[in-house]
Amino acid sequence: MTRHLLITGGAGFIAGNLVHHWAATHPQDRLVVLDALTYAGNLATIGPLIDAGRVQFVHGDIGDASLVTEVLQAQAISHVAHLAAESHVDRSISGPGAFLRTNVGGTFTLLEAFRVHWLAKGSPEHWRFLHVSTDEVFGSLEPQDPPFSESTAYSPRSPYAASKAASDHLARAWQHTYGLPVLVSNCSNNYGPYHFPEKLIPLTLINILLGRPIPVYGDGSNVRDWLYVHDHCRALERVLLAGEPGSTYCIGGNNEVANLDLVSLLCDLMEELAPDLPVRPCRELIRFVADRPGHDRRYAIDASHIRRTLGWEPQVTVQEGLRRTVQWYLANRGWWEPLLSPEYSGYLEAQYGASLGA
């Protein structure tokens, strides 16, 4: 069966990797990307696939109801992987409005347009709408707490997390009320290729290469469950193709690492793999900065449900995934160097202090 798959936010990090994964594993399917190309969207991520005719790209906002309706109808979309989102907690603290507009309003627009499109085609049973979300909707864990699971109560603690929680509720409401074939996934922290350099791992790698300070919030003891993005794409593939409509799937990497330990691992890998670093040892670049307001202490995912029902489990350890990530950034300076714009440097200055944005 040929699917017509719309991937929203497909010029971004996770969605861009999903576009590459799907094009490689399902060459018979039609792939359409809708992306507004905001600061974190980079058309270079999927440019080769567009040039090769494997992906149809549409520049636009998921909040534009007329455009979304036109794309769904003109491209005969049968499946949606909805990943378009504002996703950086720090930016949500300084400017929450964009997060509400995109993550809540945009998700509503997309769900409603897909519902009308689905009904107009006779409510096909094989169609699917996958809403991709985050473990941050669950709040924060203490060191002794069990990991998040599909039954964990929501307790968002940042504007970003609250906006994603709201969008999750909308997705489930459209499934429950209208019978729309909706699936929801909640993932842990992703890392890997094509990651915009405001996030911890690419920021650390690039600052090491440039000899700039590496910011670490607080004392660096905040713990995250790190999921290699290619493992995540495999999980999303399984959910979209074999998941039960109305179900939720928690996706984690089984790799809990404190931020300071993660940065230290990256320092060691860079010293091993990168020649001519401006500062050695790299750990001399670490700077502890004022903690993020409301910084969640720990995230962790219990992924037993997706393992039991869909046969998925992560394959890449954090040590191997970080090595692959470092190698990718070293080999793809042409992708990330153009992103180091004056706006990006200004953001770093505002967020961490002038010495980090130099």
Catalytic residue status for 64 = no
323-345 mean pLDDT: 94
Which residue in 61, 135, 198, 225 is the catalytic one? 135
With a cut of 50, say whether residue 330 has pLDDT above it: yes
Distance of alpha carbon 195 from alpha carbon 5, whole angstroms = 23
Going across the sheet that includes 256-258, the strands are 189-191, 223-228, 256-258
Residue extents of the structural domains in the chain: 4-197+225-257+298-322
With a cut of 70, say whether residue 356 has pLDDT above it: no
Q: 352: Cβ–Cβ under 8 A, 6 or more apart, which residues?
A: 215, 289
Amino acid at 48: P
- Higher pLDDT residue, 72 or 91? 72
13-24 mean pLDDT: 98
Distance of alpha carbon 256 from alpha carbon 189, whole angstroms = 10
Tokens 């180091």 belong to which residue? 340
105-124 mean pLDDT: 98
343-349 mean pLDDT: 82
326-337 mean pLDDT: 97
Distance of alpha carbon 202 from alpha carbon 92, whole angstroms = 19
Catalytic residue status for 276 = no
Catalytic residue status for 296 = no
With a cut of 50, say whether residue 87 has pLDDT above it: yes
In terms of Cβ atoms closer than 10 Å to its own Cβ (0-12, 13-18, 19+), residue 185 is buried
Distance of alpha carbon 234 from alpha carbon 306, whole angstroms = 12
Q: For the segment 219-252, what is each residue's pLDDT rounded down to a tens digit? A: 999 999 999 999 999 999 999 999 999 999 999 9
Pick the CATH number of 4-197+225-257+298-322 from 3.40.50.720, 3.50.50.60, 3.40.1190.10, 3.30.1360.10: 3.40.50.720
With a cut of 50, say whether residue 81 has pLDDT above it: yes
Task: Please state the φ and ψ torsions of residue 81, each to the nearest 5 degrees.
Answer: -115, 105
Q: 60: Cβ–Cβ under 8 A, 6 or more apart, which residues?
A: 34, 35, 36, 67, 68, 71
Q: What is the pLDDT of residue 344?
A: 83
Which residue in 61, 86, 90, 136 is the catalytic one? 136
With a cut of 50, say whether residue 358 has pLDDT above it: no
With a cut of 50, say whether residue 302 has pLDDT above it: yes
Which residue in 160, 228, 329, 347 is the catalytic one? 160
Tokens 């440097």 belong to which residue? 345
23-30 mean pLDDT: 98
Q: What is the pLDDT of residue 335?
A: 97
Q: For the segment 156-215, what is each residue's pLDDT rounded down to a tens digit? A: 999 999 999 999 999 999 999 999 999 999 999 999 999 999 899 999 999 999 999 999
Q: What is the pLDDT of residue 352?
A: 82
| 127-141, 322-336, 342-356: least confident range | 342-356
Distance of alpha carbon 87 from alpha carbon 132, whole angstroms = 12
38-45 mean pLDDT: 94
Beta bridge partners of 81: 7, 130
> Do the bridges between strand 182-187 and strand 4-8 make them parallel or antiparallel, or are there none, so unpaired?
unpaired
Q: What is the pLDDT of residue 354?
A: 54
